[in-house]
A and B are shown apart, each in its own frame.
Chain A
Amino acid sequence: MTAVASPAVPGGTAARPPRLTCGRGALISVVVLVVLAAAPLFLAPFATTTLTRVLVFALFAVSLDLLVGVTGLPSLGHAGYLGAGAYAAGWVSINVTAEAPVPLLVGAAVGALAAALTGWVTVRSAGVFFLMLTLAIGETLQQVADSWESVTGGANGLTGVPLVRLAGTPLANVGYTYWYVLAVGALGFALVAVLVRSPWGAALRGIRDNEPRMRALGYPTSLYKYVVFVVAGGVAGIAGSLLVAQQRLVTPADLGFLTSSFALLAVVIGGAGSLWGACLGAALVIVIRDALGPSLDGHGTLVLGVVFVLVVYLLPRGAAGLRPRRRRENA
């Protein structure tokens, strides 16, 4: 797990991926992937379903981390793009085809398009203003989902989404769906990880740390922010298409404020800027909300709140913040 993360340690240190860690990193990520791939062979259906949800939410959290942790743009409306992708993928699956890459590509395209249409307003602002603008956009998108009944099904949601089909065969049980979500999720994660490691990613971190200086150096920072906003929207759209593949249902709640804030919570728990941290955070959020929550007598959200407070006080840099200390001890 640790390894995939090496590119994403926050701050200037992120730019040093020593060759040694790199090799070890690759090895560990392969091991993690193999374990994840083998999981449904050993897990009961509900555990597999929960793990599928974790993967979907992890990819969503990673896309948000690209904005929050890497570029320093704290968004409260990111679920809008997840939802846009989910509705698009669901609609295409019902009305056109559920054949594998189609809903996925449509979801990604619509997520990116929605981000492209709204991003030119948001990226001109920063800090609290960015927060409020994205919140407003998220709420607006939710309102659209709520009232555009002929397409979205309104408050009752878009139901009856068929199973994803791969080469004509429907992925007829939770295990196959899990593998589909895992494969796409891993690709999405890899895509974001590569972007974050690239010079472009370094420029984004530069913008996060000191935007005026980056501008003085000649970087068109607004353009950089716009592009990362659209990319994050596209990845969220992919996560949306996976969401609909898994739950075969989209409702306005999926693009609501609560979903956005849960994703932000996952990023903070994991440590903003660390992609694998965001995945761990997402796992924690989903396990508490979906697996433990139903049996907590209605106190699921309370537990999440307590976890959040504890993380902020005990792990100011999230789960990712644990790592350097441990390494020092080892060394």
Chain B
Amino acid sequence: MTRDEIRDEILDILGDIAPDEDLSQLDDSQSFREQMELDSMDFLDIVMELRKRHRVQIPEDDYVNLASMDSTCTYLEPLMKDTAKA
């Protein structure tokens, strides 16, 4: 998957987690926590969704990389470069 495809996938996951949220205004450089009030349970879901959808395993120590859209894409790009787009 390309960086843009990964971004779309994360947006899709966020849309699942928070169906009432307007994601079109998301600032990629700002943390999800601040913009969407996501908590640790929600970050667990981003990890679980990636595992379920793409078999990507993210160790607990790496959760910090999922802070914002930019940092998430940067972290996932090498891990998902061979992942086929669903």
| Chain B associates with chain A | no
Interface residues of A (CB under 8 A from B): none
Taking Cβ atoms with an 8 Å cutoff, the residues of B that contact A are none
